[in-house]
């Protein structure tokens, strides 16, 4: 009997953990990406994170859309128009289709991952543009770990973690698929902090994000993310280290929140 109750509790706990408690189906978060040099800021781009529901004949999916667009003043010099999409299970945030369409100063790259969670595999499509304007495709079949996600769904998955239960200094590692390679991303809870944002003064969880085998996110505390310490866990501020100086992401508006 005791074993049965324990098993039942474990099952309920697992179900609760895998439920999406933080992300609404019609959420829109708008950010400003800036470059910080000796405390002086210059705004570079607008980053938008949107969610929506997509219904098919068989299932209902959640579309997680992230886009980065340079402000028009930069467009003549270096235009960025990036679109990242992930179609996930609305409850568990498990990804099924991931698309990355990047246009950065004339450089174009398209990536698509079709996940098959039954066989733990991914059908990958990489599309690049040649100098003459024509495209070439590279199709690969990849084997992945059962919990490997993409960049976008990982970001939303971090928001869905029970951070309030975590101790300061505790860390969690997530496997993500980036450029057809599995990498580990480590998220460490540094503590809580109250910061002023465009959506008000917010008490936040301060999380350090690092990727050990990747040069994008180097260092233990160089890349920090502030998530509101409420049920929505909105990413309100992020700081990341780049070649010369620092980059910043500041929230401008948040609409359609779940709580």
Chain residues in the site for another protein (CB under 8 A): 32, 35, 37-38, 40-43, 46, 54, 56-61, 63, 65, 67, 69, 71-75, 77, 81, 83, 87, 89, 91-92, 94, 96-97, 99, 101, 114, 117-118
Measured CA to CA, the distance from residue 154 to residue 240 in angstroms comes to 17
Closest separation in Å from C-beta 134 to another protein: 18
DSSP class of residue 256 equals S
Nearest Cα to 28, choosing from 75, 57, 64? 64
Helix (H, G, I), strand (E, B) or coil at 57: coil
Sign for the CA dihedral angle at 52, 119, 147, 8 comes to positive
Closest separation in Å from C-beta 234 to another protein: 21
Closest separation in Å from C-beta 177 to another protein: 17
Closest separation in Å from C-beta 28 to another protein: 13
Of the pair 45, 234, the CB lying nearest another protein is at 45
Helix (H, G, I), strand (E, B) or coil at 159: helix
Measured CA to CA, the distance from residue 123 to residue 180 in angstroms comes to 10
Q: What is the Cα Rg of the chain in Å?
A: 19
Helix (H, G, I), strand (E, B) or coil at 107: strand
Of the pair 28, 186, the CB lying nearest another protein is at 28
Closest separation in Å from C-beta 183 to another protein: 25
Nearest Cα to 21, choosing from 188, 133, 117, 161? 161
**How many C-alpha atoms does 20 have within 13 Å on its Cβ side?**
19
237: tokens are 């501020």
């Amino acid at each position: 009997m005791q074993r049965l109750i324990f098993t039942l509790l474990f099952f309920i706990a697992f179900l609760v953990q895998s439920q999406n408690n933080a992300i609404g189906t019609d959420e829109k978060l708008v950010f400003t990406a800036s470059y910080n040099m000796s405390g002086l800021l210059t705004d570079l781009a607008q980053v938008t994170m949107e969610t929506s529901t997509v219904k098919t004949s068989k299932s209902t999916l959640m579309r997680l859309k992230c886009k980065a667009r340079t402000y028009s003043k930069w467009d003549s010099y270096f235009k960025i128009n990036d679109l990242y999409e992930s179609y996930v299970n609305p409850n568990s945030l498990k990804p099924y289709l991931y698309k990355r369409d990047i246009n950065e100063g004339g450089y174009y790259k398209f990536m698509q991952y079709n996940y098959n969670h039954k066989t733990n595999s991914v059908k990958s499509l990489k599309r690049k543009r040649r100098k003459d304007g024509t495209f070439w495709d590279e199709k690969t079949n990849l084997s992945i770990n059962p919990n490997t996600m993409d960049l976008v769904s990982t970001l939303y998955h971090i928001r869905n973690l029970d951070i309030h239960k975590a101790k300061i200094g505790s860390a969690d590692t997530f496997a993500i698929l980036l450029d057809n390679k599995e990498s580990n991303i480590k998220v460490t809870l540094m503590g809580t902090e109250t910061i002023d944002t465009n959506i008000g003064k917010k008490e936040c969880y301060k999380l350090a994000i690092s990727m050990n085998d990747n040069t994008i996110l180097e260092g233990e505390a160089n890349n920090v993310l502030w998530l509101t310490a409420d049920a929505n866990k909105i990413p309100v501020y992020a700081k990341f280290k780049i070649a010369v100086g620092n980059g910043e992401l500041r929230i401008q508006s948040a609409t359609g929140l779940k709580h």
